């Protein structure tokens, strides 16, 4: 017989004995009360029988409390174990030990293949203000609670993180500079908490080229040679790193994105120069309509001593040949010439030849009145042009006038007369 069954049997026997005792006491007490009352004929008097009845009542209450009431603290109830099935214990897996090191092998979750970045191609360039859409592809199908994690990192800055369930993401007009990006598949495991489902992809790069500077005007737009002047250049997309070129690189002062100033030096030669703005990041701006002019100074007249005028002589007429002679007190330079000028009245005399001799023979065919003159000029015969010596006036003799009657006559010479 089990221990639990024995305890229960003993308890039942104890309760049964207490019940019999209580019944016996009730019977005895009742008989005592009846006997006393019936014998004396009174019920209110305190007699030994009354005391016996009270004693029987106290014993009855005590036995009732022992049989049905809660055990007193000094007599705790017996412990009754629960007869329920024992739980089945699942043994924990033992770590696998390697034969060489006996170090437990940690089993990690298997990650799926990383995504493939498709567009834009790594190293691509985009104009400033463009919208850049990043594309990728994956052989894995996203499950519930999974998404793509996109990291976009500008050069020298912390990466920005975006989450998407689509295989593309658009960046709206990012700032100029170089960027790198990569994508991984992740699973949400709590508020702002994710775990990797795939390895991160390779990192690709792209660049946003800064806006090209544009020149609208320059003021003032000219200066005299040898005179420095400060200019103001107006346009847009100017930066502090740009260089202004007007003939030579100038030290430009950045005012704002649409205004720069600089000083054109006195050493800039005469000429017309395009206004060029160069930005190491944004490229070069050359305007075909905006230019700066350095005006040449007027030439300074060369002061020379006055040239003496040739003095006409006369060589005579022989047949159709007229010989002219003259005198000059100076010596011609290598590029200086006597211009013999002959004309029939009323036409002015015109140059007929250049010579460095002091005489010249001219053949006439028509009779009449003629005028002649000797001028001194500077030039080259092959250029067919002879300019004046001092650049302001022609150095020439007075006119000489003579009559030519024909090849058979020999008229006397006529003295020179003022023109």
| pLDDT band, very low/low/confident/very high, at 393 (cuts 50, 70, 90) | low
Query: pLDDT tens, 395-413?
Result: 888 888 888 888 865 555 5
pLDDT value at residue 72: 42
Categorize the per-residue pLDDT at 17 as very low, low, confident or very high, splitting at 50, 70 and 90: very low
Q: What would the pLDDT profile of 104-116 be if each residue is shown by its tens digit?
A: 555 567 899 999 9
* Calpha distance 11→405 (Å, rounded): 189
Q: What DSSP string runs through 312-361? A: E---EEETTEEEEEEE-SS---TTEEEEEEEEETTSPPEEEEEESSSEEE
Specify whether the CB–CB gap between 181 and 155 falls below 8 A.
no
Confidence of residue 27 (pLDDT cuts 50, 70, 90): very low
Average pLDDT over residues 90-103: 47
Assessment of whether the complete model's pTM goes beyond 0.85: no
pLDDT attached to residue 406: 83
pLDDT in tens, 290-320: 899 999 988 766 655 677 888 998 888 888 8
Helix (H/G/I), strand (E/B), else coil: 18: helix
pLDDT, average across residues 40-45 = 39
* pLDDT level of residue 166 (50, 70, 90 thresholds): very high
**Which whole number is the average pLDDT over 267-274?**
91
> Which tokens hold the place of 138?
């994956």
Residue-level pLDDT at 272: 92
Task: Report the pLDDT value the prediction gives residue 125, as an integer from 0 to 100.
Answer: 87
Q: Which of 352, 385, 354, 394 is nearest to 371 (CA)?
A: 352
pLDDT at 176: 80
pLDDT at 137 over 90: yes
- Residue tagged 């005391």 (tokens): 51
- Over the chain, what is the mean pLDDT? 75
Looking from the CA of 320 toward its CB, the CA atoms found within 13 Å total 4
Lowest average pLDDT, out of 13-27, 122-136, 148-162, 327-341, goes to 13-27
Q: 311-404: which CATH number, 2.40.170.20, 3.30.1490.20, 3.20.20.70, 2.60.40.10? A: 2.60.40.10
pLDDT of residue 34: 39
pLDDT surpassing 90 at residue 382: no
- What pLDDT was estimated at residue 314? 84
Of 46-55, 144-153, 244-253, minimum mean pLDDT range: 46-55
Helical packing angle, 3-40 and 48-68, nearest 10°: 160
Burial 109-138 (b: 16+ CB within 10 A, else e): eeeeebbebeebeeeeebebeeebebebeb
For residues 230-244, give the mean pLDDT.
89
pLDDT at 25 over 60: no
Q: What is the pLDDT of residue 135?
A: 96
Averaged pLDDT for residues 376-394: 71
- Give mean pLDDT, residues 141-157: 92
- For the chain, how far is it from start to end, CA to CA, in angstroms? 174
The predicted structure's pLDDT at residue 108: 60
214-295 and 116-209 share a CATH fold:
yes
The angle formed by the CA atoms of residues 15, 56 and 76, to the nearest 5 degrees, is: 35
183 three-class SS: strand
Query: Coil, strand or helix: which one is 12?
Result: helix
pLDDT at 352 over 70: yes
Highest mean pLDDT of the ranges 51-65, 347-361, 403-417:
347-361
Q: Which two tokens stand for residue 392?
A: 């302001």
Tell me what percent of the residues of the chain surpass a pLDDT of 90.
32
Min mean pLDDT across 142-146, 195-199, 363-367 is at 363-367
Looking at per-residue confidence, does 39 or 181 come out higher? 181
Domain locations in the chain?
3-67, 116-209, 214-295, 311-404
* Residue in this structure with the two tokens 């990569």, named with its chain if needed: 182
Fold classified for 116-209: Immunoglobulin-like (2.60.40)
Q: Given the structure tokens 């905006």, which residue do they identify?
A: 290
Q: Examine the pLDDT at 259 and tell me if it is beyond 90.
A: yes
Residue 394 has pLDDT above 60, yes or no: yes
CATH superfamily entry for domain 214-295: Immunoglobulins (2.60.40.10)
């Amino acid at each position: 017989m089990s221990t639990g069954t024995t305890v229960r049997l003993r308890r039942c026997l104890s309760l049964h004995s207490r019940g019999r005792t209580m019944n016996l006491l009730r019977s005895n007490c009742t008989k005592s009360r009846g006997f006393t009352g019936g014998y004396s004929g009174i019920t209110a008097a305190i007699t030994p029988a009354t005391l016996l009845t009270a004693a029987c009542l106290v014993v009855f209450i005590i036995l009732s409390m022992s049989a049905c009431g809660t055990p007193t603290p000094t007599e705790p109830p017996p412990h009754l174990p629960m007869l329920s099935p024992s739980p089945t214990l699942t043994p924990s897996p033992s770590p696998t030990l390697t034969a060489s090191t006996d170090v437990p092998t940690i089993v990690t979750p298997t990650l799926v293949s990383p995504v493939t970045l498709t567009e834009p191609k790594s190293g691509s360039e985009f104009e400033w203000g463009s919208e850049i859409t990043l594309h990728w592809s994956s052989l894995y199908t996203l499950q519930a609670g999974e998404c793509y994690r996109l990291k976009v990192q500008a050069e020298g800055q912390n990466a920005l993180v975006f989450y998407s369930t689509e295989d593309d993401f658009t960046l709206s007009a990012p700032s100029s500079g170089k960027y790198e990006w990569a994508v991984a598949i992740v699973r949400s495991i709590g508020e702002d908490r994710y775990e990797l489902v795939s390895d991160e992809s390779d990192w690709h790069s792209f660049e946003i080229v800064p806006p090209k500077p544009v020149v609208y005007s320059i003021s003032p737009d000219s200066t005299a040679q040898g005179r420095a002047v400060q200019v103001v250049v107006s346009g847009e997309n100017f930066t502090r790193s740009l260089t202004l070129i007007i003939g030579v690189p100038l030290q430009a002062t950045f005012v704002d994105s649409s205004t720069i100033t600089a000083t054109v030096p006195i050493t800039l030669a005469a000429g017309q120069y395009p206004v060029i703005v160069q930005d190491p990041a944004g490229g070069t701006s050359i305007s075909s309509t905006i230019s700066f002019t350095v005006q040449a100074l007027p030439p300074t007249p060369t002061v020379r001593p006055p040239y003496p005028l040739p003095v006409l002589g006369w060589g005579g007429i022989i047949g159709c040949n007229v010989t002219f002679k003259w005198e000059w007190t100076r010596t011609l330079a290598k590029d200086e010439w006597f211009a013999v000028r002959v004309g029939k009245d009323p036409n002015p005399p015109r140059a007929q030849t250049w010579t460095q001799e002091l005489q010249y023979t001219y053949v006439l065919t028509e009779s009449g009145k003629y005028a002649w003159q000797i001028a001194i000029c500077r030039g080259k015969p092959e250029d067919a042009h002879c300019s004046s010596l001092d650049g302001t006036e022609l150095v020439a003799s007075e006119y000489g006038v003579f009559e030519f009657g024909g090849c058979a006559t020999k008229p006397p010479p006529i003295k020179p007369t003022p023109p």
